[in-house]
Amino acid sequence: MAEQPAFATEWFRQRIAGAGAVAAIEAAELRDLSDADALRLADALLSAAPIEQMCEGRRASSGFVEQQRRFARGR
Protein backbone atom coordinates (compact mmCIF):
# COMPACT_ATOMS: atom_id res chain seq x y z
CA MET A 1 0.00 0.00 0.00
CA ALA A 2 1.33 3.46 -0.88
CA GLU A 3 2.27 5.82 1.91
CA GLN A 4 0.17 8.95 2.39
CA PRO A 5 1.67 12.29 1.36
CA ALA A 6 2.93 14.46 4.21
CA PHE A 7 -0.01 16.87 3.97
CA ALA A 8 -2.70 14.17 4.07
CA THR A 9 -3.11 13.93 7.85
CA GLU A 10 -3.45 17.70 8.27
CA TRP A 11 -5.79 17.93 5.27
CA PHE A 12 -8.01 15.23 6.73
CA ARG A 13 -8.05 16.90 10.15
CA GLN A 14 -9.07 20.20 8.52
CA ARG A 15 -11.74 18.46 6.49
CA ILE A 16 -13.28 16.86 9.58
CA ALA A 17 -13.15 20.18 11.47
CA GLY A 18 -14.68 21.99 8.48
CA ALA A 19 -17.52 19.48 8.20
CA GLY A 20 -18.30 19.97 11.89
CA ALA A 21 -18.24 23.76 11.49
CA VAL A 22 -20.58 23.63 8.49
CA ALA A 23 -22.97 21.32 10.37
CA ALA A 24 -23.02 23.74 13.32
CA ILE A 25 -23.76 26.70 11.03
CA GLU A 26 -26.56 24.79 9.28
CA ALA A 27 -28.10 23.79 12.61
CA ALA A 28 -27.97 27.38 13.89
CA GLU A 29 -29.50 28.74 10.68
CA LEU A 30 -32.34 26.21 10.80
CA ARG A 31 -32.92 26.86 14.49
CA ASP A 32 -33.13 30.62 13.89
CA LEU A 33 -35.27 30.37 10.75
CA SER A 34 -38.80 31.67 11.26
CA ASP A 35 -41.79 29.99 9.68
CA ALA A 36 -42.44 33.09 7.57
CA ASP A 37 -38.87 33.16 6.26
CA ALA A 38 -38.96 29.43 5.54
CA LEU A 39 -42.15 29.82 3.51
CA ARG A 40 -40.74 32.83 1.66
CA LEU A 41 -37.53 30.99 0.79
CA ALA A 42 -39.39 27.81 -0.24
CA ASP A 43 -41.64 29.86 -2.50
CA ALA A 44 -38.62 31.54 -4.09
CA LEU A 45 -37.00 28.16 -4.71
CA LEU A 46 -40.14 26.66 -6.23
CA SER A 47 -40.69 29.67 -8.48
CA ALA A 48 -37.16 29.34 -9.88
CA ALA A 49 -38.43 26.57 -12.18
CA PRO A 50 -42.12 27.18 -12.90
CA ILE A 51 -44.01 23.94 -13.48
CA GLU A 52 -45.40 25.33 -16.74
CA GLN A 53 -41.87 25.30 -18.19
CA MET A 54 -41.17 21.68 -17.27
CA CYS A 55 -41.57 18.88 -19.78
CA GLU A 56 -44.50 16.52 -19.20
CA GLY A 57 -42.31 13.66 -17.95
CA ARG A 58 -40.69 15.88 -15.32
CA ARG A 59 -44.10 17.00 -14.05
CA ALA A 60 -45.16 13.40 -13.47
CA SER A 61 -42.02 12.18 -11.68
CA SER A 62 -38.94 13.61 -10.02
CA GLY A 63 -36.89 10.72 -11.34
CA PHE A 64 -35.95 9.62 -7.82
CA VAL A 65 -37.88 6.34 -7.99
CA GLU A 66 -36.30 5.50 -11.37
CA GLN A 67 -32.84 6.34 -10.01
CA GLN A 68 -33.34 4.06 -7.00
CA ARG A 69 -34.65 1.26 -9.25
CA ARG A 70 -31.51 1.49 -11.38
CA PHE A 71 -29.25 1.49 -8.34
CA ALA A 72 -31.02 -1.60 -6.99
CA ARG A 73 -30.68 -3.36 -10.35
CA GLY A 74 -26.96 -2.60 -10.35
CA ARG A 75 -26.39 -4.36 -7.03
Residue pLDDT tens, the chain, 75 long: 678 888 999 999 999 999 999 999 999 999 999 999 999 999 999 888 888 888 887 777 878 888 999 999 988
Q: Where are the alpha helices (H) located in the chain, listed in sequence order?
A: 8-32, 35-47, 56-60, 64-74
Q: What is the pLDDT of residue 6?
A: 86
Residues 6+ apart with CB under 8 A from 51: 59
User: What is the C-alpha separation between 56 and 59, in angstroms, rounded?
Assistant: 5
**So what's the pLDDT on residue 1?**
62
Provide the pLDDT for residue 39.
97
Residue 49's alpha-carbon distances to 42, 46, 52, 55, in angstroms, are 12, 6, 8, 11
Reported pTM: 0.52
